Amino acid sequence: MNEKLEQLKTLLAELTDMDRTLAVVGWDQQVYMPRGGAEDRGNINSTLSAKVHEMATSKELGDLLEALKPYAETLDPDSDDACMIKRTAYDYERASKVPTEHVAEFARVTTLGQSAWEEAKEKDDFSIFRPHLEKIVELRREYAGFFKPYDHVYDPLLQDFEPGLKTADVQDVFGKLRPEQIKIIKAIKDRPQVDDSFLKTSYDVKGQEEFGVEVAKAFGYDFNRGRQDVSVHPFTTSLGIDDVRITTHYYPEHVTTAMFSTMHESGHAMYEQGISPSLRRLPQATGASMAVHESQSRLWENLIGRSKAFWKRFYPRLQKIFPAQLANVSLEAFYKAVNKVEPSFVRTEADEATYNLHIMLRLELEIALMEDSLKVKDLPAAWNARMHEFLGITPPNDRRGVLQDVHWSGGMLGYFPTYALGNLVSAQIMEKMKSQLSDIDGLIEDGRFDVILGWLRENIYRHGAKFEPQELVQRVTGTKIRPEPYLAYLSKKYSDIYGF
């Protein structure tokens, strides 16, 4: 049996290497590829994706998994080998339902779609992106069909990012979350508004980059095993546990955008860099799920990066970089400004109180697209209508509306709910961490991020994808994903800021 186990590990290492090769190609596409290269890059992605899928669904892999099932039952269920066999069997079963031809076509179409989206956003012209998105939605419906019978057509897409979760589960959580967040927003609306005018002046991009890198390094993002570049939409990509790259985007008139996106992507990257070396070149050498991944990006960005303790330490440094803009702005005024609650057009610029409403809006639209009750041609109008319904504002253009996110161009329908779920998990994790580490605020103010990062590595990061996401959350926090800790966090934070 040891021989078959080693054969499986060898096969999985080769498969992981091929998958990482696709990641390199994808990273280059978003960072350096000239826009005119989309067709050629689409062919490359299509060919590589087909080869990876053939390896992931091969008879050899299936036979090895079948032969190792009895052996896996004799192992400690928490062992690396038992989890590897279980995870690979899950991935194999799902991948085997999908024809290689579909995988290849999807890779080609989404590569062209991403390039079209970039042009459409730049020119504020949805018509450039529309035919690509129509094809992407068509392919997503076809993909879902491979998993029939299902409870809902959206389930197979959601489960690509959040294994074990169904559409009804997310709708149930959001149904509890939305009215409570609206209560908080209404309470804030009745209070005097925070002044953030000093954030809406010009901030030198070089200074923004300098500050962002300093914070990322202080958090513990290892630049010897990573790098930061610029892309249209910030993202993180892992080419291995010792090569995890982040990007950001700078806006001179919106200093907080790059600042918090760098913290956000650093959270993703530190998760990947913290995976145990024993999992190198195995399927578990990634995050447990996107909700768990987003819990880390949102924890570092918001629960730490927007905390008063953080700014007690870093605000003097930011003032030194931008004296003309901030020399006469107090710490208290700055802290309130970066936590101001106000409906915004762009998700990545949204405050914590309204952010989840952006996600709920996208979930409704994605479900409608998959159910075919909403046509792509009607998407901009539907977007604007829901923005008015959810947030009371209407985007001035499609660039700040339906075209703002990169995800649909990559075919990532099913991803957005994980942002809101990640918010919930981040609060659960922080609650548990505070019960085990004394004075988290003191650690943050003293710059002792190594203690916080060490706790996260020990309890979450090192496990990679060994455990199913809900199982991991329960192991760490004592319960599955639930909204109460996050709502308590929001209520306490904003009652202190706004005095309600």
Catalytic sites, residue numbers = 265
Structural contact between residues 142 and 135, judged by C-beta atoms closer than 8 angstroms = no
Q: Establish how many alpha carbons lie within 13 A of residue 219's alpha carbon, considering only the half-sphere containing its beta carbon.
A: 33
Q: Alpha-carbon distance 460 to 472, whole Å?
A: 8
Respond yes or no on whether the N-terminal peptide bond of residue 192 is cis (omega within 30° of 0).
no
Cβ atoms of 129 and 116 closer than 8 Å: yes
Q: Tell me 244's DSSP state.
A: E
Strand 236-238 to 228-230 pairing = unpaired
Going by their DSSP bridges, the two strands 244-248 and 236-238 should be labelled as antiparallel
- Report the C-alpha gap between 127 and 129 in whole angstroms: 5
For residue 238, the SS3 value is: strand
CB 187 within 8 A of CB 491: no
Chain-centre distance of CA 498, in angstroms? 29
Residue 376 sits at the vertex; the CA angle it makes with 261 and 124, to the nearest 5 degrees, is: 50
Tokens of 36: 């005119």
Look up residue 390 and give its two tokens: 């959810």
- Strand order across the 228-230 sheet: 228-230, 244-248, 236-238
Q: Buried b / exposed e across 191-200, counting CB within 10 Å, b at 16+?
A: eeebebeebe
The answer to whether residues 426 and 299 touch, using CB atoms and an 8 Å cutoff, is yes
Total residue count of the chain as it appears in this document: 500
Beta-carbon contacts of 76 under 8 Å, excluding residues fewer than 6 positions away, are 82
> Nearest 5°: CA angle at 209, between 206 and 215?
145
How many other CB atoms are there within 10 angstroms of residue 307's CB atom? Answer: 18
Burial (CB < 10 A; 0-12, 13-18, 19+), residue 76, is exposed
- Reduce the DSSP state of residue 402 to 3 states and report it: coil
